Structure 1
């Protein structure tokens, strides 16, 4: 059994590029209460792809606006700063989630499809439970497994040992991953989020999305992502080798005041959302 040195893993995190300056600037604007729509529009218009995504979402049936939205400023008024922030982050991280992850038995686009689904379910649960920032829940759900893109290489090398531990000892994949490697993908995901200067609540949601009872800053957000992640796996979306090795945390269910019947209700409701292409227009 080989455990990897923390510096080795962190070194891989350090090799990941930082977010582009323009993306950082847009995030600063969306998080600054003194920023104006004009400030945000000016930055968005510098990126043709981002401009197209903002206008596409504003004109989607998801918002049902009766007239065509043709300017970024009007789109921003309709969508709000938090939704714009979601579009920016989703567009930025997508390239890291699109590839094949052999170590997790995930084919090309599997992690991306899974992440989109988890994001949509996270946002639904947030709205259903009256969480104040559903778009923050969307972002957290989307990027909760970013750490897998870092650990993929190591998981691939130790794949047989991890799977054997899961099957013979009845451990979760997360436990086996941590025992064999010395780290789990949530911990490494937190390192990536810190490098990208994400808000501390998002860092925590990524790091503890399998262990919400460890969260301190925003246990409700972490619990939302945890439940959404488990539901995503239950639905078989982008199911990898670790897909069926997780259950619901009692802590998360209690803090969200969700019981088994509500889980079934949520699954029935989000099934239609996932099939609705407009739900994915944010990316």
Structure 2
């Protein structure tokens, strides 16, 4: 019986550019069915269900080849043959197929005992869908040459029928199946460069890279523009915030002038004092003087506080769970920046980036009903999948929407990048990578804490940048962050 598919988790992963990784040691039929179900849900999130059958073929071909490669290793070991020795290899392959097929249970058990796995990873990044199949034995040069030979042969065929009617050596995993895989990619309008196989950190990685259809991507971009253009109903920042921004940017301004202007807004004054007296500043005693508070926060920190304060004034506070998540992410981002990055300028940017990272979701949650009608008509006119439109209200593409709104409100580039790329840190401008990766990891840890993602779904490059080398270490850091956040929340109440 196939394992139950967690549809919601897969949908969230697809929307948020988070990889879904599934590992198996024996690849039973029920796991193959499960993988196809996951693929179908993943593709449906982007209106690409029509690709499922062709990509499912590629998925099965690559996963079965990975399984054969693992079987080959344990078979050669049992026969006391060296797979990298030409004579031994030739000898071993004489009876490999018939002996393993007739006693497959035995060899699969050997694979499991040896810890040889197959790992399938689904991921959407920006406008591209990537399917990777990994197994933890390195492909030999001879095997890799054989695969590329099959790819080269596939250039001679224009149809499946031509390939099937041509006799190819299919004694290896890289036989006729690879030729058909490449032809399948051609049917999708892709060339052979869409498929690659290589070794990475002790694993053989077979990867298929499929750009989403141009029409679909164009529609998503237009829809984002439509949402942002209709947000004109949202007011600009309050006048006192705009005036304060000008004061801060004026080199002739005095701290007392800025403090006096803040004091005209009781709510902003309370927010400023709340931030200064929070765990961020670790002050020995409570501060109630506005001038002293401004000095402690600094002009950069005060600027960021104003972006956060102004946004929360404009956007409704009804969605408590969204704001709770944002405050937790902000606290985690600040703590991560302070503990790992040790760059003073990064602290304020990371904190405010954490508060504002989901502003696109918040806008969707409170968008005017008339706007929803206009967006619905827009989808109908341009034949955008209805399911895609309905998913938008759950936050699909919210990072791009949030980024565009941040630009509309003239946020600084560092906050725009943190909002736009908080799910895809590798896509951001390298100048702002520190703050984007910090907000990304803080958000990922908050999502890990509430069970929305697993540790394996967190970008390993980002983890490495924070010197997190194992799941145990990551969980320990998360526990410390969670405990500190709870303590800080209790102190504020």
TM-score tier (shorter): 0.7 to 0.9
Which one of 183, 186, 202 corresponds to residue 415 of structure 2?
202
Greater relative contact order (CA < 8 Å, ≥ 6 in sequence): 1
Which one of 93, 106, 109 corresponds to residue 320 of structure 2?
109
Aligned equivalents of 1:194, 1:90: Cα separation in 2: 14
User: Match of 1:52?
Assistant: 270
Report whether the alignment pairs 1:248 with 2:458.
yes
Paired residues, what number? 254
User: Match of 2:178?
Assistant: none
Alignment CA distance shift 1:163-1:21 (3 Å): closer
CA-CA distance at 1:27 after TM superposition: 3.3
CA-CA distance at 1:62 after TM superposition: 6.2
User: Match of 1:131?
Assistant: 343
Report whether the alignment pairs 1:221 with 2:427.
no
Which one of 482, 490, 493 corresponds to residue 271 of structure 1?
482
User: Match of 2:201?
Assistant: none
Cα deviations by residue, 1:195-245 (Å, 9 ceiling, x for unpaired):
111101110110011011111131111111111111111111xx8xxx439
User: Match of 2:446?
Assistant: 232
CA-CA distance at 1:31 after TM superposition: 5.3
Cα deviations by residue, 1:50-74 (Å, 9 ceiling, x for unpaired):
1233334445576564555342112
Aligned equivalents of 2:235, 2:285: Cα separation in 1: 40
Gaps of 5+ in 2: 1-46, 48-215, 377-383
TM-score by length of 1: 0.74
CA-CA distance at 1:29 after TM superposition: 4.1
Alignment CA distance shift 1:257-1:251 (3 Å): same
Cα deviations by residue, 1:76-108 (Å, 9 ceiling, x for unpaired):
223333443344333332352623xxxxxxxx3
Which one of 274, 291, 294 corresponds to residue 73 of structure 1?
291
User: Match of 1:98?
Assistant: 317
Gaps of 5+ in 1: 100-107, 165-175
The more displaced of 113-122 and 71-80 is 71-80
CA-CA distance at 1:263 after TM superposition: 2.1
Cα deviations by residue, 1:164-211 (Å, 9 ceiling, x for unpaired):
9xxxxxxxxxxx86xx99x71111101111111110111011001101
SS of equivalent to 1:218: helix
Cα deviations by residue, 1:109-138 (Å, 9 ceiling, x for unpaired):
010000000000010111012133211100
Alpha carbons 1:98, 1:109 under 8 Å: kept: yes
Aligned equivalents of 1:274, 1:76: Cα separation in 2: 24
Alpha carbons 2:448, 2:454 under 8 Å: kept: no
SS of equivalent to 1:188: helix
The more displaced of 52-61 and 42-51 is 52-61
Alpha carbons 2:278, 2:488 under 8 Å: kept: no
Say which structure is richer in strand.
2
Alignment of 1:75-90 (within 5 A): 75-90=293-308
Aligned equivalents of 1:194, 1:91: Cα separation in 2: 17
User: Match of 1:168?
Assistant: none
Which one of 385, 405, 409 corresponds to residue 192 of structure 1?
405
The more displaced of 260-269 and 32-41 is 32-41
